[in-house]
Structure 1
Amino acid sequence: MSPRCRIRAFHRPSWRSWNLARQAGRDARIGTVSSDAEVTTSPVVATVYEHLLDSITRGDLQPGDRISDAELAKEFGVSRTPVREAIQRLRDIGVIEASANRFTRVAVVAPEQTAKAMTVWIALFCALVDEVVENAASETADAMESDHEAFLSALAREDYPAMARANFDFYDRLAAHSNNEVLTRSLTSVVHMVRLGSLYLPQAIDVSQLSRWQGELLAAVRQRDTESAVAAIEGLKGIQVPLG
């Protein structure tokens, strides 16, 4: 399938996002968005970034699929500059890879890379729970419980994409409360590599273990028990990532 066909198969953004993107593109072309900083924070960059990331994590775009900045710019009705900025952001977090004058494509994450990324994620998340669990609000625990229930429901249906979404949403609840920007940026980068890689493992991981450690972490957050929360994250080390 050609890059053109793949891009047109994307789920289109909402009309509100579409209009924001078009306006930002017009602003960029007439010079009201001129500096690198302004382009980086423009609505069109955020819109294209989220659109591509969502397409990748849903599986609409798969590892190795080509991405054309020209086609994306045409789809959104904007210049290629903000589209390239969005693509660069996705390269920074490891879900898109490129070779000059050859290709820009969804990253191919090998199972070995997924396992290594998971090890890094566990270490980073231990640091995060050490920071935030002691002051976790009851609303955070309530949201995590809803995600846990969604995970269990998806598990019962054997709906693995829904299970993956609920699992990552569950952990994101705590990440949102960190005041350590370096830590959260690092987590954002590695979690998307884990998420992308886990979609294409040769075999499924032991999801019953995921369920167990979610439950342990939820209980620790309810009690604001940092030590038990760290133990629940470290328990994930026992989940083997299939390598072949």
Structure 2
Amino acid sequence: MPIPERGGLIARSLLRDDAFRSIRSAIVDGTLAPGERINDGDLAQWLGVSRTPVREALARLEEAGLVQTKPGRYTMVSPLDPRAVRAAQSVVAAMHELAVREAVPTMSPAEIEAMRAANARFAAALRADDVEAAIAADDEFHEVAVTASGNPALAAVLDQFTPVLRRLERLRFSSLRGRESVDLHDRIIALCERRDSEGAGAVARANWQALDPLVQAALGDVAQPA
């Protein structure tokens, strides 16, 4: 059988996607700090791939607002931009509200239990001051409603804008303020059990708006002259 002309595109796509996720994770967790200049050759060596998927990944990261490029001059991790963070917060809060409202009418007991279990892991991670585990558990909690909504557009939008907030949320979850989310999650679960889609959606939005004090403080620090 002749080799299909499109053969190899899957492998290239996987390399590009893997590079994108790896570099994005390094930006979100602070391994690549805001304002740090990055080189596609160094990233390719680190990831064990060619420069092509790295360059494609960097182009996607620039669209997501996590990387800035000056062609022929430099590529760097985007500094924390107050306007970008505010915009991302508004979009993420609205999308999670919509996800919960769409998910609640058909949410199963197993899905509600998955939310409860994720919130228990979230609370335990906060008590242990384990920021990585807290963020992972928080993602798992919110992902239940996003998946249950059956709306792929929601997932796509959140995948683009949530990483912008995650850099700040690391500060939130390493402080006592992060513990407020546990109570908000519990309220969302209770409202989902009562099939109150409007109420649950409103609390889901409030959960992401609770970032306001941290956003104000962190972005105020960024705005201060060196």
1:196 pairs with one of 150, 158, 167: 167
1:240 partner letter: D
Match of 2:88 in 1: 117
Does structure 2 retain, via aligned residues, the 8 Å contact 1:95–1:196? no
Alignment of 1:28-39 (within 5 A): 32-33=7-8, 38=9
Distance 2:65 2:111 in 1: 28
Q: Secondary structure of the residue that 2:38 maps to in structure 1?
A: coil
Match of 1:218 in 2: 189
Identity of aligned residues (%): 26
Does structure 1 retain, via aligned residues, the 8 Å contact 2:146–2:154? no
Does structure 2 retain, via aligned residues, the 8 Å contact 1:56–1:106? yes
Could you list the per-position Cα deviations for residues 43-99 of structure 1 after superposition, in whole angstroms to 9, with x for gaps in the alignment?
211221222222233332222223221223334443322221122222222222222
Alignment of 1:17-28 (within 5 A): none
Distance 1:39 1:67 in 2: 27
Normalised TM-score (structure 1)? 0.73
Shift of 1:213: 0.9
The question of 1:131 aligning with 2:98 is answered: no
Match of 1:240 in 2: 212
The question of 1:95 aligning with 2:41 is answered: no
Larger relative contact order (Cα-Cα within 8 Å, sequence gap ≥ 6): 2
Distance 1:100 1:222 in 2: 52
2:28 pairs with one of 46, 57, 60: 57
Match of 1:8 in 2: none
Q: Secondary structure of the residue that 2:76 maps to in structure 1?
A: strand
Shift of 1:239: 4.7
Normalised TM-score (structure 2)? 0.78
Does structure 1 retain, via aligned residues, the 8 Å contact 2:12–2:53? no
CA RMSD of aligned residues (A): 2.9
Does structure 2 retain, via aligned residues, the 8 Å contact 1:114–1:194? yes
> Which stretch shows the higher mean deviation, 139-148 or 112-121?
112-121
Does structure 1 retain, via aligned residues, the 8 Å contact 2:119–2:137? yes
Over 3 Å counting, the alpha-carbon distance change for 1:95 and 1:138 in structure 2 is farther
Q: Secondary structure of the residue that 1:109 maps to in structure 2?
A: coil
Shift of 1:200: 5.5
Could you list the per-position Cα deviations for residues 10-48 of structure 1 after superposition, in whole angstroms to 9, with x for gaps in the alignment?
xxxxxxxxxxxxxxxxxxxxx954xxxx37962211221
Distance 1:41 1:212 in 2: 44
